[in-house]
Structure 1
Amino acid sequence: MKPLATLAAAPQPWSAHDTQLVVVAAIGIALIVLLIVKAKLHPFLSLVLGSAFVGIASGVELGKVITNFEAGVGGTLQEVGLLIALGAMLGKLLADSGGANRVVDTLLSKVSGAAVPWAMALVAVIIGLPMFFEIGLVLLLPVIVLVTQRSNSKLMRIAIPALAGLSVLHGLVPPHPGPLIAISAVNAQLGTTLALGLLIALPTVIICGPLFSILAAKWVPVGAPKRAGGVDTSHTGADPDVKRQPTFLVTVLTIVFPVVLMLSKALVDIINPDAKNPTTVRVFFDFIGQPLVAMTLAVLLALVTFGYAVGLKGAKLSHKIGASVGPIAAVILIVGAGGGFKQTLIGAGVGDAVAKWATGANLSVLLLGYLIAVALRLATGSATVATITAAGIVAPLAGSLSPTHTALLALAVGAGSLFLSHVNDAGFWLVKELFGLTIGQTFKTWSVMETAISVVGFGFVMILSVLI
Structure 2
Amino acid sequence: MVILIAYFQVNPFISIFSLSVILALVSGMAPGDVVKSFETGVGNTLGHIAIVIALGTMLGAMLAESGGAEQIAVTLIRIFGARNTHWAMMFIGFIVGLPVFFEVGFVLLIPIAFNVARRTGTSMLMVGLPMVAGLSVVHGLIPPHPAALLAVQAYQADIGKTILFGIIIGLPVAALAGPIFARFISSRIEIDENNPIAEALVKKSDPSRQLPSFSVTMLTILLPVILMLVGSWADLLIPGKNVGNATLHFLGNTDIALLLGVLLSFITLGTMRGFTSDMILHFTTDCLAPTAAITLLVGAGGGFGRILIDSGISKVIVDMALGAHVSVLLLAWLLAAMIRIATGSATVAMATAANIVAPLAAQAPGTHPELLVLATGAGALILSHVNDGGFWLVKQYFNMTVPQTFRTWTIVETIISIAALILVQGAALVLG
Q: Which residue of 1 aligns with 2:415?
A: 452
Name which of structure 1's ranges 56-65 and 74-83 shifts more when overlaid on structure 2: 74-83
User: In structure 2, which of residues 25, 47, 59 is the aligned counterpart of residue 56 of structure 1?
Assistant: 25
Q: Which residue of 2 aligns with 1:229?
A: 194
User: Where do residues 29-428 of structure 1 align in structure 2 (5 Å cutoff)?
Assistant: 32-112=1-81, 115-122=84-91, 133=106, 140-148=113-121, 155=122, 160-170=126-136, 172-173=138-139, 201-212=170-181, 220=187, 228-229=193-194, 236-237=202-203, 244-272=210-238, 277-362=240-325, 364=328, 365-372=331-338, 375=341, 385=344, 387=346, 390=349, 394=353, 397=356, 400=359, 408=374, 411-418=377-384
Q: Which residue of 2 aligns with 1:8?
A: none
Mapped contact 2:71–2:214 kept (Cα < 8 A): yes
Q: 1:448 to 1:352 in 2, by over 3 A?
A: closer
TM-score by length of 2: 0.73
The structural deviation recorded for 1:261 is: 1.2
Aligned equivalents of 1:95 and 1:45: distance in 2?
33
Any stretches of 5+ residues in structure 2 without a counterpart? 363-368
Aligned AA (2:344): V
Name which of structure 1's ranges 329-338 and 137-146 shifts more when overlaid on structure 2: 137-146
Q: 1:430 to 1:62 in 2, by over 3 A?
A: closer
- For residues 284-324 of structure 1, what are the alpha-carbon distances to aligned partners after superposition, in whole Å with 9 as ceiling and x for unaligned? 11111111111111111122222112111111111211122
The structural deviation recorded for 1:451 is: 4.3
Mapped contact 1:269–1:282 kept (Cα < 8 A): yes
Aligned equivalents of 1:416 and 1:315: distance in 2?
45
In structure 2, the residue corresponding to 1:415 is in which secondary structure? coil
Aligned equivalents of 2:188 and 2:303: distance in 1?
42
Aligned AA (1:147): T
Q: 1:338 to 1:389 in 2, by over 3 A?
A: farther
Q: 1:310 to 1:373 in 2, by over 3 A?
A: farther
The structural deviation recorded for 1:53 is: 0.8
Q: Which residue of 2 aligns with 1:7?
A: none
Aligned AA (1:58): S
In structure 1, the residue corresponding to 2:28 is in which secondary structure? coil
**RMSD of aligned residue pairs (Cα, Å):** 4.6
Aligned equivalents of 2:21 and 2:14: distance in 1?
11
- For residues 202-246 of structure 1, what are the alpha-carbon distances to aligned partners after superposition, in whole Å with 9 as ceiling and x for unaligned? 4433333444556558xx499x99x9336899x951698x96422
The structural deviation recorded for 1:271 is: 4.4
Q: Which residue of 2 aligns with 1:380?
A: none
The structural deviation recorded for 1:49 is: 0.8
Aligned equivalents of 1:432 and 1:89: distance in 2?
18
The structural deviation recorded for 1:56 is: 0.9
In structure 1, the residue corresponding to 2:36 is in which secondary structure? helix
Aligned equivalents of 1:406 and 1:304: distance in 2?
45
In structure 1, the residue corresponding to 2:21 is in which secondary structure? helix
The structural deviation recorded for 1:140 is: 2.7
The structural deviation recorded for 1:76 is: 1.4
Any stretches of 5+ residues in structure 1 without a counterpart? 1-31, 149-154, 377-383
Percent identity among equivalent residues?
28
Q: 1:272 to 1:366 in 2, by over 3 A?
A: farther
Number of residue pairs aligned between Structure 1 and Structure 2: 401
Aligned equivalents of 2:287 and 2:373: distance in 1?
32
The structural deviation recorded for 1:88 is: 1.3
Q: 1:267 to 1:137 in 2, by over 3 A?
A: closer
Aligned equivalents of 1:165 and 1:463: distance in 2?
26
Q: 1:354 to 1:69 in 2, by over 3 A?
A: same
Aligned equivalents of 1:119 and 1:63: distance in 2?
51
In structure 1, the residue corresponding to 2:71 is in which secondary structure? helix
In structure 2, the residue corresponding to 1:265 is in which secondary structure? helix
In structure 1, the residue corresponding to 2:287 is in which secondary structure? helix
Mapped contact 1:160–1:446 kept (Cα < 8 A): no
Aligned equivalents of 2:413 and 2:370: distance in 1?
26
Aligned equivalents of 1:43 and 1:181: distance in 2?
29
In structure 2, the residue corresponding to 1:361 is in which secondary structure? coil
Aligned equivalents of 1:44 and 1:306: distance in 2?
36
Q: 1:86 to 1:181 in 2, by over 3 A?
A: farther
Aligned AA (1:144): A
